[in-house]
Structure 1
Amino acid sequence: MSSQKAAPASVVVPTGLQRSPGTALHRQLYIVLRDQILRGTFPAGAAIPKEADLEQMFGVSRITVRRAVADLESHGLVRKVPSKGTFVLPRKDGARREATLTLLEALTRQAEDTQVQVLSVETVHAPGDIALLLELEPNGVAHHVVRLRSAGKTPLMVTDAWVLAKWAQDLTPKTLLKNALFEIILSKGVKFGKVVQEFSAILADPQQASLLKTDVGSPLIKVTRLFYDAQDRPAYHLTSVATPERTRLLMEIPASAINTLSAGSYQHTVLV
């Protein structure tokens, strides 16, 4: 590899991994190095610090370093060259993409480009917060659908949907394998009027970690969407969780919407 080069001398690698119960040390180190690679701190062809240097920088064992580097290599981010070092590989996904699809177009593309596994379909009493959002009576019934979307053998996203019972007659595992959920709802004559979105981060619980093949306590992207019909009535509630290792969320806000609710706003929750 004649193009191999050392990392910039100005690179400062953060130290002090969290040693309390949660994400394993090798996973934390992997995430730190992966993020630096994705940000370009270590460009394609550059060598990441040697194992001994990483041990000192982070105060971890050689085994921890090797496990983290092995994870980087298994995800196609680096390549180990005997007697020379570990070098960053070119990004497979190229430069940052633009958000060129509308929401429904993006949902259609997602359905076309991934495989779905229907984990559960049931009609049950909606939890209090869901009942409130869907404007149901207390202990009101809704259709609950949980699915896993994957690319090949790689899990990408767990979706958890609550649908008004009147739109759920044909929601079965069989129909959900053939059609996206929103397509089934649209086929009932529903016309979407607006969507309220919320983006947040959570820590993976045991079930989410198992489905997404990540560690318990790993950070996950959480996207919550409440779809309304053209009469401004709730139609269905959808929550998606994904690991930031494999998923990014792209948005484009036109100039006409910069000073509107469509641009979004921060909502802080402070516990006193």
Structure 2
Amino acid sequence: MTAAALDRGRGDLEHAKITAMGRGGNGEARVSASAGVPLHRQLYLVLHDEIARGAVGSGEALPTEQSLCTQFGVSRITVRRALADLAEAGLIERRHGVGSFVADNATARAHDPAASYMDGLRQIEFETEVEVLEFGVRAAPAAVAERLGGQRRLLQVLRLRRERITREPCMVTEVWLPEHLTETVTEPALAGTSLFELLYGAGVGIDGVDHELTAEVAGPRIANLLDTAIGAAVIRVNSVAHATGRPHHFLSVALSPSRSRVLLSQSAADFESGIGMAIAHDVRRPRV
């Protein structure tokens, strides 16, 4: 094989790799300035996903910086910031003058449930589109008010997230917030920004979050929103966020187990001490 033919073969392989990497189910590039997430972060998430699913194996080279610029329509600065984030996460090795290569065990690290919670939120924002279904100040249900220390008039927001490419419903979220946040947590802002970023911008520092995972059957409303059958299994995650040592807001998330799963992680010290996870048996048995 001549040198020219070898170069053509390498070029064809490079083109095939970046074409597969940059395309979603509808054949369009998955990086967009209108996605509400910085371009370098979007490119990071695309490459992260490809490494996680093994599309680019350990030791294999990523496409060149110029190839990524051309494929995704972004600047070299954007590409370099994305690659720097991947290297910082331990997913790639950057070799000066040679290129970027997938690190050993990168696939396992990409699936690490202990990865940044905020990274997970950013990935959800990038991969999904959100629709605000209900928004307004109203009386909270007694169970919610009790968890928030007796607050009754709260700002309620119901949102549906759909997968950006397939439009498949992913999750239904309902949050109950202090009434005074209505000027910060607005309906237009919630359509493009995560709740935690809005709260952070309002000076709300979250001290911690208590999560409760349960299973339930889908009622008519949730079944309709998640495009599943009435009576189908649903994962429910209820969370109480604390700020300045007091309950601040209540968040409830409904997920279909056929499309989603919940990952928990504990360090060895947490496991030994029981911190971070507990199992409660409170099944109501009829009295004899």
- Calculate the TM-score normalised by the size of structure 2: 0.58
In 1, the alpha carbon distance for the partners of 2:148 and 2:220 equals 28
Q: Give the aligned partner of residue 171 of structure 1.
A: 185
Give the Cα–Cα distance (whole angstroms) in 2 for the partners of residues 224 and 102 of structure 1.
20
**1:104 and 2:141 matched:** no
Separation in 1, partners of 2:175, 2:269: 31
Which structure features the higher share of helix residues? 2
Deviations along 1:144-185, whole A, 9 cap, x unmatched? 000001103100000010011123322222111121112111
Unaligned ranges ≥5, structure 2: 1-106
CA deviations 1:69-110 (Å, max 9, x no partner) are xxxxxxxxxxxxxxxxxxxxxxxxx98933142333322322
Structure 1 SS opposite 2:212: strand
Structure 1, residues 212-257: CA drift from partner, whole Å, max 9, x if none? 111000001111111101x211121100011010001112211121
Deviation at 1:261, TM superposition (A): 4.8
1:242 matched to 2:255: yes
1:128 CA displacement: 1.0
Shift in CA distance, 187/261, structure 1 to aligned 2, threshold 3 Å: farther
8 Å contact from structure 2 (residues 172, 253) kept in 1:
yes
DSSP 3-state at the match of 2:272: coil
Aligned to 1:80: none
- Aligned to 1:262, the other structure's residue is in SS state coil
Aligned-pair CA distance for 1:112: 2.3
The 2-side partners of 1:166 and 1:233 are apart by 16
Aligned to 2:129: 115
Is 1:142 paired with 2:154? yes
Give the distance between the partners of 1:257 and 1:156, measured in 2 at CA: 30
Q: Structure 2 CA distance, aligned partners of 1:164 and 1:175?
A: 17
**CA–CA distance in structure 1, aligned partners of residues 273 and 178 of structure 2:** 29
SS in structure 1 of the partner of residue 248 of structure 2? strand
Work out whether 1:133 is the aligned partner of 2:128: no
Contact 1:98/1:250 (8 A) holds in 2: no
Number of residue pairs the alignment of both structures matches: 176
Measured in 2, the distance between the counterparts of 1:186 and 1:109 equals: 18
Trace 1:1-272 onto structure 2 (pairs within 5 A). 97-137=111-151, 140-151=152-163, 152=165, 153-229=167-243, 231-271=244-284, 272=286
CA shift, 1:187, in A, is: 0.9
Preserved CA contact (<8 Å) 2:184 2:202:
no
Residues 203 and 216 in structure 1, CA contact (< 8 A), matched pair in contact too = yes
Distance 2:234 2:147 in 1: 23
Q: Distance in 2 between matches of 1:127 and 1:211?
A: 21
> 1:121, 1:173 within 8 Å by CA — same for their partners in 2?
yes
Deviations 1:5-28 (A, max 9, x none): xxxxxxxxxxxxxxxxxxxxxxxx
Q: TM-score, normalised by structure 1?
A: 0.61
Q: Give 1:117 shift.
A: 0.7
Give the unaligned 5+ runs of structure 1.
Answer: 1-93
**Percent of paired sites with the same residue:** 27
Q: What is the CA–CA distance in structure 2 between the aligned matches of 1:173 and 1:263, rounded to whole Å?
A: 33
Which amino acid in the other structure matches residue 159 of structure 2? R
Shift of 1:269: 2.0
Tell me, in whole angstroms, the C-alpha distance in 1 between the residues paired with 2:126 and 2:241.
21
2:275 aligns to what SS in structure 1?
helix
Conserved 8 A contact 1:134-1:164: no
In the aligned structure 2, how far is the partner of 1:262 from the partner of 1:187?
30
Q: Is the 8 A contact 2:241 2:249 kept in 1?
A: yes
Secondary structure, counterpart of 2:265 in structure 1: coil
